[in-house]
């Protein structure tokens, strides 16, 4: 069996999107759309499974949430 890890690109994209959405709420839709496209591209390129993208997105969102709360 192949062991699969969360997508680092997707993690970084959702982390950045979350931070931008927090500080600049007017770009929320755009940055989350961008992060979703990054994740989709990883699947379409065949380098990740959809579950890797979901895990990466959740990881990025979690890190952003924790960072915002720690620094607040």
- Give 2's pLDDT tier (boundaries 50, 70, 90): low
Instruction: Quote the tokens at residue 32.
Output: 């989350």
The one catalytic residue in 6, 7, 9, 21 is 9
Residue 1: the pLDDT is 47
| pLDDT tens by residue, 13-34 | 999 999 999 999 999 999 999 9
Residue 27 DSSP SS3: helix
Q: Are 6 and 24 in contact (CB under 8 A)?
A: no
The one catalytic residue in 48, 55, 56, 59 is 48
48 a catalytic residue: yes
| pLDDT tens by residue, 27-60 | 999 999 999 999 999 999 999 999 999 999 999 9
Instruction: Give mean pLDDT, residues 49-72.
Output: 97
Distance of CA 33 to the CA centre of its chain: 10
Q: Give the predicted TM-score (pTM) of the model.
A: 0.94
List of residues 6+ apart from 20 with CB closer than 8 A: 27, 31
């Amino acid at each position: 069996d192949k062991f699969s890890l969360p997508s680092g690109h997707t993690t970084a994209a959702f982390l950045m999107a979350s931070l931008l959405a927090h500080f600049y709420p007017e770009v929320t839709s755009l940055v989350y759309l961008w992060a979703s496209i990054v994740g989709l591209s990883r699947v379409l390129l065949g380098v990740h499974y959809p579950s890797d993208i979901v895990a990466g997105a959740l990881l990025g969102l979690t890190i952003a949430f924790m960072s915002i709360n720690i620094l607040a």
